[in-house]
């Protein structure tokens, strides 16, 4: 959603980094570009004015003028102020000390409250809670039926004593306040620890909506009132949020449809305008496309610095810890990474969700947005089909796959031999990388060889030290004869090898100190009283 804003800010900072020192004119020009980017993204004017004022004040202060890299310091200031307008510190749900915790959803019609009730139920069930959905929207056609379907998909029961209305011409007859009150009592009697009340919405702000929502709040005394706002509705988001804050009052905001392609900047203004934190964000149509809102991570995404923490959290949920340990032990034991292992890893990635979303969380991916948008999610299905068309022996040992086998695999997977060849080539590269990682991080940094204690082959970089040669033989015949005699004694084990030279790191390099005798392990034991 914030692609345009991200591109504009990234371009502004790119020009800023070309300057070694920043003058007041440079900072004014940068702040002016930031102001235009935020206004074009539909951020509220009052928020933009306050934001750019703070950025300019801090950018002209001593923290930038005395910085080693003023451009990076300005980026940090912008990041800090973005976090501030997004709400500052992240906050979770306030759970009741004495269950059930009552959560009331409010917002305009079409904001996605009913679907979000199911997403919130899935999120709470993953945390060990037992939510109950209450169908208190008796005015929108088929709202009750929709909540029942969503609840079934989410694995959460739905309390719906009234069927609501089935068509536009029907007149609502039920009492949503009574339904909400009875829903809380039902949850208490059935020992559900969370109640999610889905209330009615309207196409615009009106007195009837506010009165009904206020009465439901008074009747149920919710622990959280979440204002669900469509992130795509533009500047009207701020007006609506203010009206709900004054008329009903809410404790937190949930952004829905954050995966849309609208400018969406007005949604970023809600926390600053209302003083209420954004708790969650809905990022897709699936019930699992729902995540807690972290202001610092969202600011990082907007500035194209990625969101690695969220990516790690999703990976931890999707991947099996036992399987990961088995794979680590297998690679540590020197076994090869096989196509069967590759298939398991792909299935784990599929459980994480959209590949585009995952790749988009990596730093710097904004510069590859066109390539990212053209990525075909079905490519994963094609690769899986090719691997599943192989025999178990072929998956364990791809070298068995000759020409006829490739043709059979291509036919069985509905692909071509070229696609099979490309997969095998990519897998060979992945297998080689896995071996390098198992030996110790790919053999160390280029030109430095493998790190101590990490194993691996030495690097073939240009700066690699030449192999250490043996001690040069003396030109004096007597000395040469003595050297050869000592070498024969050491080879026969009759004389201890010379210790490592002392006086430098790791015991390497440096001359032997005069007066220090050569000690064997047995001599050391005697000196230490062993």
Tell whether the model's pLDDT for residue 319 goes beyond 90.
no
Q: What is the DSSP string of 352-415?
A: T--HHHHHHTSTTGGGGHHHHHT--THHHHHHHHHHHTS-HHHHH-GGG--HHHHHHHHHHHTS
pLDDT at 281: 87
Residues 80-109, mean pLDDT to the nearest whole number:
87
Which residues have a Cβ under 8 Å from the Cβ of 496 and sit 6 or more positions away?
490, 518, 520
The last residue of a domain, from among 419, 440, 461? 440
Q: Are 259 and 113 contained in the same domain? A: yes
Q: Are 135 and 21 contained in the same domain? A: no
Q: Are 234 and 263 in contact (CB under 8 A)?
A: yes
How would residue 224 be classed by pLDDT, with cut points 50, 70 and 90?
Answer: very high
Q: Which of these ranges, 63-77, 131-145, 315-329, 393-407, has the smallest mean pLDDT?
A: 315-329
Q: Are 268 and 286 contained in the same domain? A: yes
How would residue 450 be classed by pLDDT, with cut points 50, 70 and 90?
Answer: very low
d(CA 530, CA 522) in angstroms, rounded, equals 9
How would residue 468 be classed by pLDDT, with cut points 50, 70 and 90?
Answer: very low
The last residue of a domain, from among 54, 85, 116? 85
pLDDT tens per residue, range 472-484: 555 566 666 777 7
In terms of pLDDT, which residue wins out, 15 or 452? Answer: 15
pLDDT at 1: 58
Q: Are 26 and 139 contained in the same domain? A: no
Residues 369-393, mean pLDDT to the nearest whole number:
79
Percent residues over pLDDT 90 in the chain = 16
Domain presence at residue 308: no
In terms of pLDDT, which residue wins out, 250 or 353? Answer: 250
Annotated binding site for GTP: which residue ranges?
A: 107-114, 198-202, 256-259
pLDDT at 466: 44
CATH code of 274's domain: 3.40.50.300
d(CA 403, CA 427) in angstroms, rounded, equals 17
How would residue 34 be classed by pLDDT, with cut points 50, 70 and 90?
Answer: confident
Domain presence at residue 419: yes
Tell whether the model's pLDDT for residue 460 goes beyond 60.
no
Tell whether the model's pLDDT for residue 340 goes beyond 90.
no
Q: Are 108 and 163 in contact (CB under 8 A)?
A: no
Q: Calculate the alpha carbon distances from 316 to 22, 196, 291, 313, 441 in Å.
A: 43, 27, 14, 5, 22
Q: Are 181 and 143 in contact (CB under 8 A)?
A: no
Tell whether the model's pLDDT for residue 515 goes beyond 70.
no
Domain presence at residue 472: no
Domain presence at residue 484: no
pLDDT at 517: 46
pLDDT at 500: 41
- The three-state secondary structure class of 252 is strand
Tell whether the model's pLDDT for residue 330 goes beyond 90.
no
How would residue 360 be classed by pLDDT, with cut points 50, 70 and 90?
Answer: low
Q: Are 61 and 147 contained in the same domain? A: no
d(CA 41, CA 51) in angstroms, rounded, equals 14
Residues 315-320, mean pLDDT to the nearest whole number:
66
* CA 32 centroid distance within chain: 31
Domain presence at residue 107: yes
Which residues have a Cβ under 8 Å from the Cβ of 325 and sit 6 or more positions away?
none
Q: Are 245 and 221 in contact (CB under 8 A)?
A: no
The last residue of a domain, from among 303, 321, 352? 303
Phi and psi based region of residue 88 (left: phi greater than 0; alpha: psi -120 to 50; beta: remaining): left
Residue 350 tokens read as: 């599929």
Q: Are 142 and 272 contained in the same domain? A: yes
Tell whether the model's pLDDT for residue 527 goes beyond 80.
no
In residues, how long is the chain? 530
Domain presence at residue 329: yes
d(CA 98, CA 120) in angstroms, rounded, equals 20
Q: Are 161 and 269 contained in the same domain? A: yes
SS (H, E, C) 166-226: CCCCCCCCCCHHHHHHHHHHHHHHCCCCEEEEECCCCCCCCHHHHHHHHHHHHHHCCCEEE
pLDDT at 104: 93
Backbone angles phi, psi at 158, to 5 degrees: -120, 130
Q: Which domain holds residue 21?
A: 3-85
Selection from 172-176, 396-400, 498-502, 515-519 with the highest mean pLDDT = 396-400
pLDDT at 375: 66
- Its pTM stands at 0.63
CATH code of 419's domain: 1.10.260.30
Q: Calculate the alpha carbon distances from 496 to 491, 513, 523, 530 in Å.
A: 9, 18, 11, 19
Q: Are 292 and 379 contained in the same domain? A: no
CATH code of 21's domain: 1.20.120.140
Residues 302-330, mean pLDDT to the nearest whole number:
68
Q: Which of these ranges, 122-136, 231-245, 392-406, 419-433, has the smallest mean pLDDT?
A: 231-245
Q: What is the DSSP string of 103-162?
A: EEEE--TTS-HHHHHHHHHHHHHHTT--EEEEE---SSTTHHHHHHHHHHHHT--EE-SS
Domain presence at residue 469: no
pLDDT at 200: 84
Tell whether the model's pLDDT for residue 524 goes beyond 80.
no
pLDDT at 134: 93
Residues 91-116, mean pLDDT to the nearest whole number:
88
Q: What is the DSSP string of 290-328?
A: EEE--HHHHHHHHTT---HHHHHHHHHHHS-HHHHHHHH
The structural domain count of the chain equals 3
pLDDT at 111: 82
Q: Are 260 and 146 contained in the same domain? A: yes
Domain presence at residue 269: yes
Q: Are 296 and 322 contained in the same domain? A: no
d(CA 273, CA 254) in angstroms, rounded, equals 15
pLDDT at 261: 62
Q: What CA dihedral angle connects 21, 25, 27 and 32, to 10 degrees?
A: -150
How would residue 133 be classed by pLDDT, with cut points 50, 70 and 90?
Answer: very high
Q: Are 320 and 418 contained in the same domain? A: yes
Task: Please give the mean pLDDT across all residues of the chain.
Answer: 76
Residues 207-226, mean pLDDT to the nearest whole number:
86
Q: Are 334 and 371 contained in the same domain? A: yes
Annotated binding site: which residue ranges?
A: 107-114, 198-202, 256-259
pLDDT at 24: 83
* CA 65 centroid distance within chain: 34
């Amino acid at each position: 959603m914030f692609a345009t804003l991200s591109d504009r800010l990234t371009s502004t900072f790119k020009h800023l980094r070309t300057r070694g020192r920043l003058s007041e004119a440079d900072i004014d020009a940068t702040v002016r570009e930031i102001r235009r980017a935020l206004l074009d993204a539909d951020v509220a004017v009052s928020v933009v004015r306050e934001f750019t004022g703070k950025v300019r004040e801090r950018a002209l202060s001593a923290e930038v003028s005395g910085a080693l890299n003023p451009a990076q310091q300005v980026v940090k200031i912008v990041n800090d102020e973005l976090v501030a307008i997004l709400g500052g510190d992240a906050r979770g749900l306030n759970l009741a000390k004495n269950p059930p915790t009552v959560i009331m959803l409010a917002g305009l019609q079409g904001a996605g409250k009913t679907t979000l009730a199911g997403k919130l139920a899935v999120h709470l069930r993953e945390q060990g809670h037992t939510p109950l959905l209450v169908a208190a929207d008796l005015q929108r056609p088929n709202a009750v039926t929709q909540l029942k379907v969503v609840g079934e998909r989410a694995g959460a029961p739905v309390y719906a004593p009234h069927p609501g209305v089935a068509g536009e011409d029907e007149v609502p007859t039920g009492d949503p306040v009574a339904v909400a009150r009875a829903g809380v009592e039902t949850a208490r009697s059935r020992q559900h620890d969370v109640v999610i009340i889905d209330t009615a919405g309207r196409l615009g702000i009106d007195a009837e909506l506010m009165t009904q929502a206020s009465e439901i709040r008074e009747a149920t005394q919710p622990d959280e009132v979440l204002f669900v706002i469509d992130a795509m509705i533009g500047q009207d988001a701020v007006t609506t949020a203010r009206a709900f804050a004054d008329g009903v009052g809410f404790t937190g905001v949930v952004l829905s449809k954050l995966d849309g392609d609208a400018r969406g900047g007005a949604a970023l203004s809600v926390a600053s305008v209302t003083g209420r934190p954004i708790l969650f964000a809905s990022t897709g149509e699936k019930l699992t496309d729902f995540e807690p809102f972290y202001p610092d991570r969202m600011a990082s995404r907007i500035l194209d610095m990625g969101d690695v923490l969220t990516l790690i959290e999703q990976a931890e949920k999707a991947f099996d810890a036992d399987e990961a340990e088995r794979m680590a032990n297998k690679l540590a034991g020197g076994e090869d990474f096989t196509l069967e292992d590759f298939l398991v890893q792909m299935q784990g990635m599929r459980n994480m969700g959209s590949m585009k979303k995952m790749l988009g969380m990596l730093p710097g991916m904004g510069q590859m947005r066109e390539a990212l948008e053209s990525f075909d999610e079905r490519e994963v299905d094609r690769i899986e089909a090719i691997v599943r068309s192989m025999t178990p022996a072929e998956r364990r040992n791809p070298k068995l796959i000759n020409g006829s086998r490739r043709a059979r695999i291509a036919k069985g997977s509905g692909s071509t031999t070229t696609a099979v060849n490309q997969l095998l080539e990519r897998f060979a590269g992945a297998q080689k990388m896995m071996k390098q990682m198992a030996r110790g991080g790919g053999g160390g940094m280029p030109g430095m060889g493998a790190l101590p204690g990490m194993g691996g082959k030495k690097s073939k970089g240009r700066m690699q030290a030449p192999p250490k040669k043996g001690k040069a033989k003396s030109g004096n015949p007597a000395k040469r004869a003595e050297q050869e005699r000592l070498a024969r004694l050491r080879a026969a084990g009759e004389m201890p090898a010379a210790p490592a030279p002392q006086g430098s790191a790791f015991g390497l390099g440096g001359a032997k100190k005069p007066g220090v005798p050569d000690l064997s392990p047995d001599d050391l034991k005697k000196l230490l009283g062993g």
